Chain A
Amino acid sequence: DGGITQSPKYLFRKEGQNVTLSCEQNLNHDAMYWYRQDPGQGLRLIYYSQIVNDFQKGDIAEGYSVSREKKESFPLTVTSAQKNPTAFYLCATTGTRRPNEQFFGPGTRLTVL
């Protein structure tokens, strides 16, 4: 059963804590992305990675960090430096067979208490 999994589905964080959101894919896709979506807003790119061990900042990278040690995995850490982290976080991938489509995971909803 191929696809993208994100965990957890819901995450609650206290102010000042770092949290890591998981994104795993078994689609054999090279490119992976992290987006943030706020209520009533579109998606804003946080980080993206075209290949293993390489990643680039997107439009709103401040307060976030990522790693890409494996092709299948692209975890996102929301650090305490992110001032307003409450949002819906979406992971996406793109493969070479269907470069016209970004496939999205189910998302993680992060709430800061």
Chain B
Amino acid sequence: QKEVEQNSGPLSVPEGAIASLNCTYSDRGSQSFFWYRQYSGKSPELIMFIYSNGDKEDGRFTAQLNKASQYVSLLIRDSQPSDSATYLCAVNMDGSARQLTFGSGTQLTVLP
């Protein structure tokens, strides 16, 4: 059974701080990793995806992948109140988004 684990939170950070969201996965064959943001009552939207070990940066967001430790994280720099949402980690084995296993999400609150 493939599993993706996230701390449910809530995680609270002050405005301007770095928010760090973590995710571990059980299937060592996993190849691609996705972070989605979901506002309350809305559908998820993709923030980033990462395939290779190391860091991938996109604006204020950085995804970090360590396949040896089966660990992927998302850093949000200069956090804004508008970043307050639930962040879902998703994992796929075949290198595309065709089938994803989602974690339960981490609720982030950025305090003004």
Chain A positions near chain B (C-beta within 8 angstroms):
31, 35, 40-45, 48, 50, 90, 94, 99-102, 104-107
Contacts and interface: CB of A to CB of B under 8 A. Distances in A.
Contacts of B104: 40-42
Closest 10 CB pairs of A and B: A42-B102, A104-B43, A99-B96, A43-B102, A42-B104, A102-B97, A100-B49, A101-B46, A107-B43, A94-B97
B19 interface: no
Interface residues of B, number: 23
A1 to B, nearest CB: 17
A105 B43 contact: yes
Contact of A101 (B6, B49, B88, B103): B49
Contacts, number: 52
Interface of B: 4, 6, 8, 32, 34, 42-46, 49, 88, 90, 96-105
A38 to B, nearest CB: 10
Nearest to A31: B98
Contact of A94 (B6, B88, B98, B103): B98
